[in-house]
Amino acid sequence: MDYRGLTWDHPRGFNALAAAAARLDPAGGLSVTWEKQPLEGFEAHPIDDLCARYDLVVLDHPHVGEAVAKGCLVPLQDLFSPEEIAALERDSIGPSLSSYRFAGVHWALPLDAATQVMARRADLVDGPAPATWDDVIALSERAPVALSLAGPHACLTFLSIAAAMGEPPAVADPDVLVSDQTGETVLDLMARLAARSPMVVRDKNPIGILGHMAAHDDVALCPLIYGYVNYAAPRDGAARPIAFSDAPRAAAGGRPGSTLGGTGIGVSRRCAVTPALLDHLRWLLGANAQVGFIPAHDGQPSRREAWHDAEVNARWGGFYAATAQTLEAAYVRPRHDGYIAFQADASRLIRDGLAEGRSHRDILGDLAARYARSRVPGTER
């Protein structure tokens, strides 16, 4: 059986999957061809359109509500035993598996684990990495500190800082994004940093920011950016290594505020599932692949033991051990149908509002109204 899969266009998203597919013997009845889409498409393309064209789809967990509403994915419970799913829950780091659980059902296998962490050029920052947001503000007064605000990342930064401040958005009440008090505190902090953020990276996504930091000396630190292990130990001799560490806390010893990323493999309704395909998926999630094969092929594993493996950390500049605590505590975004559109609009509201110097109360009012509309089924988004 020949299967088509879609992943995202970056070595971390493609290389390990392609290399694993190359190990398959088509004579044995199984082949998988992986295609790529840009990161922006991965973040925003309608999931039902992708599932109509591909058997396997690498997706981000906030798309799960949309996928359930469109009925385009096969529940994992229809493919794997309860014991296998329980083992995945036990072995996956942080909420990597649970983030794909929606309406009582798991919808994707946690292939890749990631969250926002702190990235810095250690050669440009004196002393250890800042531990708190106050430390980040202090550093920004003497070194170039950049916020990741392009695309959906203004909203994701807002959510993460709110989580660090003790109010993970929409958790206490799914209908309320964040209180005015916490929201104003977060926007005050973001405004101070955005005013000093180097213009050269303001329109760049996380890959662009990290690539710029590795090649230039005009950004010393980004306090919240999705971690990419590839930049911790670059193969390009001209690129400087990026040092990654836990996301900032509101106070020493507090929760590192960070919004979960990572990817999962969903099986589309068009897929004719065979035992050989399920065995291949089991292998990708197993210890041998997650600790050995995937890190060796530029991937970022989801299995907890890989993040604490001494050899894996030695190869990748200690990236995993330095950020595992943040991943264990990562905040999981809302996943209702309509959230993805809200996230895009919220980022624009925050980014434009900060640039224009709008009242933070007005920005929060618009965010609350837009979030409320996203929660109403059938509302035009």
**Secondary structure (H, E, C), the chain:** CEEEEEEECCHHHHHHHHHHHHCCCHHHCCEEEEEEECHHHHHHCCHHHHHHHCCEEEECHHHHHHHHHHCCECCHHHCCCHHHHHHHHHHECCCCCHHHEECCEECCEEEECCEEEEEECCCCCCCCCCCEHHHHHHHHCCCCECCCCCCCHHHHHHHHHHHHCCCCCCCCCCCCCCCHHHHHHHHHHHHHHHCCCCHHHCCCCHHHHHHHHHHCCCCCEEEEEECCHHHCCCCCCCCCCCEEECCCECCCCCCCCCEECCEEEEEECCCCCCHHHHHHHHHHHCHHHHHHHHHHCCCCECEHHHHCCHHHHHHCCCHHHHHHHHHHCCECCCCCCCHHHHHHHHHHHHHHHHHHCCCHHHHHHHHHHHHHHHCCCCCCC
Ordered by where they begin, the domains of the chain are 2-113+261-324 (3.40.190.10), 116-259+338-374 (3.40.190.10)
Within 8 A by CB and 6+ apart from 257, the residues are 160, 161, 162, 163, 164, 165, 224, 247, 248, 249, 250, 331
Please report where in the chains the tokens 């509500």 appear, as a residue: 65
Task: Give me the tens of pLDDT residue by residue for the chain, a chain 381 residues long.
Answer: 999 999 999 899 999 999 999 999 888 889 999 999 887 766 668 889 999 999 999 999 999 999 999 999 999 999 999 999 999 999 999 999 999 999 999 999 999 999 999 999 999 998 899 999 999 999 999 999 999 999 999 999 999 999 999 999 999 999 999 999 999 999 999 999 999 999 999 999 999 999 999 999 999 999 999 999 999 998 877 789 999 999 999 999 999 999 999 999 999 999 999 999 999 999 999 999 999 999 999 999 999 999 999 999 999 999 999 999 999 999 999 999 999 999 999 999 999 999 999 999 999 999 999 999 999 875 543
Supply the pLDDT for residue 42.
65
Q: What is the reported pTM?
A: 0.94
Please report where in the chains the tokens 């790529």 appear, as a residue: 36
Supply the pLDDT for residue 329.
98
Q: Give CA separation, 331 vs 161, 170, 290, 358, in Å.
A: 10, 11, 23, 27
Supply the pLDDT for residue 380.
41
How many angstroms separate the CA atoms of 227 and 286, rounded? 22
Residue among 3, 2, 6 at smallest CA distance from 60 = 6
Residue 14 structure tokens:
């493609």
